[in-house]
Amino acid sequence: MALDIVPTPDALSVALTETARLVEAQLDALLPVPESAEAKLIEAMRYAVLNGGKRMRAFLVMEVAKMFSVNRTCAARVAASVEMLHAYSLVHDDLPAMDDDDLRRGQPSCHKKFDEATAILAGDALQTRAFEVLAEADTHDDAEARCELILALAAASGMRGMVGGQMIDMESEGKQLGGPEITRLQALKTGRLIQYAAEAGAILGRASAQQRHFIAAYGRELGGAFQIYDDVLDETASEADLGKTAGKDAAQGKATMVSILGLDRARAQAEKLAEQAATHLESFGDRADLLRTLARFTVTRTS
C-alpha cells in the first residue's frame, strides 16, 4: 500500500479522540456513584479510569470491531472493560509496595489522591467490573461470545499474562535479565493485554479463525513494538511529556531493551515490529488503514 493513501496521523488523532469521548461516556455510565457509604470507592475507581490516557486499548477494540461491522455500543462496552482492567493494573502497580509511583498521567496516582487502602480496593473492584461488563447481555447477544471475551481477558491479564509479567518484573530488580527474558516479561506484562484488545474486536465480530489469527498476530507485534518504544521513551522523553516518573527502570537497576540493545537498536527493533504488525493486516484492505497508522504512531509518539 502506497504511503499517500494511508490516513494521515491527523486522521488517527481524530479517531483516537472520538474513541476516547465514546469510551469515557461509556465508563461514566458503567460506574455511577451511589449515594451510600461506599461512594468513595467508586470515586476512586472513576478517578483511576477517567484520568485521561491515550485509550489505545479501547481504540484497538473499537477499530477492529468496526472492520467486522459490530454494533458500536457493544464495542464501546468492551473497550470500557479493557480500560478498566488496564486502570486497575496501573493503580496496583503504582502502590508503594510495588513500583511506588506518585505520578500517573501527570496527576497524583490513586493512592496519593486517596489512600493506599482505597487504591487497593478501587483496583480490585475495577477488575471485577471489567469482567462483569463482559458478562452482561448488552455486550453481545450470544453468551458464548461473552464467555470467549472473558476467557481471553483472563488469559491476557491473570497469572499467565499481565499479573505474571508484573511478578517477574518485581523479582527482576537488581537482576540482569537477558533479551529473551525481557521480551517474555514485556509480552506478559503489556503485550498480552494489547493483543487481547485487538482480538476482542474480532471475537465481538465473530471473525473467522483465519481473520482472528491475523488480528492476533497484529496485536502481538504491535504490543511488542509498544513496549520496546516505551523503554525508548523512558530514556528520552521528559517527565512532563510522559506524565509519570521518567528514567525509573534505569534508576531501579532494571534491565530494559534499551539497556541491552542500546537506544538506536532498540528504536530500530520497535520500528521493525511495528512494520511487521502492519503486514498481518493485508487481507483487510483499506478498512485496516487506521490500524496501520496506529502501528506507525506507536513508534513515533512522544509520550
Decide whether 108 or 164 has the Cβ nearer to a copy of itself.
164
Q: Which three cell numbers stand for residue 197?
A: 484488545
> What's the min distance (Å) between Cβ of 167 and a copy of itself?
4
260 in contact with a copy of itself (CB under 8 A): no
Task: Tell me how far CA of residue 90 lies from CA of 120, 153, 209, 234, in angstroms.
Answer: 11, 16, 32, 16
29 in contact with a copy of itself (CB under 8 A): no
The 8-class DSSP code of residue 108 comes to: E
151 in contact with a copy of itself (CB under 8 A): yes
Which residue among 159, 247, 282, 303 contacts a copy of itself (CB under 8 A)? 159
Tally of CA atoms within 13 A in the half-sphere of 223 that contains its CB: 28
Decide whether 177 or 273 has the Cβ nearer to a copy of itself.
177
181 in contact with a copy of itself (CB under 8 A): yes
Helices (H), 50-142: 56-67, 72-93, 110-113, 116-135
Block residue for cell numbers 488496564: 86
18 in contact with a copy of itself (CB under 8 A): no
Q: How many residues bind a copy of itself (CB under 8 A)?
A: 56
> What's the min distance (Å) between Cβ of 74 and a copy of itself?
15
Tell me the C-alpha distance between 233 and 246, whole Å. Answer: 8
> What's the min distance (Å) between Cβ of 101 and a copy of itself?
13
| Of the candidates 204, 63, 49, the residue with the CA atom closest to the CA atom of residue 141 | 204
Is the Cα torsion angle 191, 56, 302, 100 positive or negative in sign? negative
Q: Identify the three-state secondary structure at position 107.
A: strand
> What's the min distance (Å) between Cβ of 278 and a copy of itself?
31
Decide whether 75 or 125 has the Cβ nearer to a copy of itself.
125
Residues 51-90 that bind a copy of itself (CB under 8 A): 88
Do residues 257 and 231 touch, judged by C-beta distance below 8 A? yes
Tally of CA atoms within 13 A in the half-sphere of 251 that contains its CB: 9
Contact characters 94-133, a copy of itself, x per CB under 8 A: -x-xx----------------xxxx-xx-xxx-xxx-xx-
6 in contact with a copy of itself (CB under 8 A): no
45 in contact with a copy of itself (CB under 8 A): yes
Tell me the C-alpha distance between 223 and 243, whole Å. Answer: 20
138 in contact with a copy of itself (CB under 8 A): no
239 in contact with a copy of itself (CB under 8 A): no
Do residues 44 and 129 touch, judged by C-beta distance below 8 A? no
Q: What is the dihedral of CA 119, 42, 131, 94, to 10 degrees?
A: -20
> Footprint of a copy of itself on this chain (CB under 8 A)?
31, 34, 37-38, 40-42, 45, 88, 92, 95, 97-98, 115-118, 120-121, 123-125, 127-129, 131-132, 135-137, 142-144, 146-147, 150-151, 154-155, 157-160, 163-168, 170-172, 181, 184-185, 188
